Amino acid sequence: MSELPVTDANGGIDSWQWFQNRLTHLGHASMNEFAKKHGFPKSSLSRYFHRERQLPSGKISAFCEALEVSPQELLQALGALDWRGPEDASY
């Protein structure tokens, strides 16, 4: 099971730290190793997880498989979905 995302000082998810934690959890020594194994450009990985570029919807499945996470967790880590559950909603 994957871990909860790391939050930054503003309470948001730190996508880069989450990505680094996943690589470590999966036994990858580096982003370069992960990129080679799964065929992802290193520069794109950096841009996606530093939130400089949005992950194209057509790549979500490949990323989920490579990172062994659900689409929801990946999108939450990338800031595309709010991590909080319904019990945290302010109505």
Cβ-contact 10, 33 below 8 angstroms: no
Q: How far apart are CA 38 and CA 19, in angstroms?
A: 14
List pLDDT tens digits, range 1-53: 445 545 554 445 699 999 999 999 999 999 999 999 999 999 999 999 999 99
How far is residue 90 from each of residues 9, 84, 87, measured CA to CA in Å? 21, 11, 8
Question: CB–CB of 3/21 below 8 Å?
Answer: yes
Q: In angstroms, what is the C-alpha Rg of the chain?
A: 13
- How confident is the model at residue 80, as a pLDDT? 87
**pLDDT value for 87:** 53
Please tell me whether the overall predicted TM-score, pTM, comes out greater than 0.95 for this model: no
Which segment of 3-12, 48-57, 58-67, 82-91 scores lowest on mean pLDDT? 3-12
Residue 83 has pLDDT above 70, yes or no: no
Find tokens 């190793």 and name the residue: 33
Both tokens of 33, joined, read: 């190793």
The residue-averaged pLDDT of 76-82 equals 85
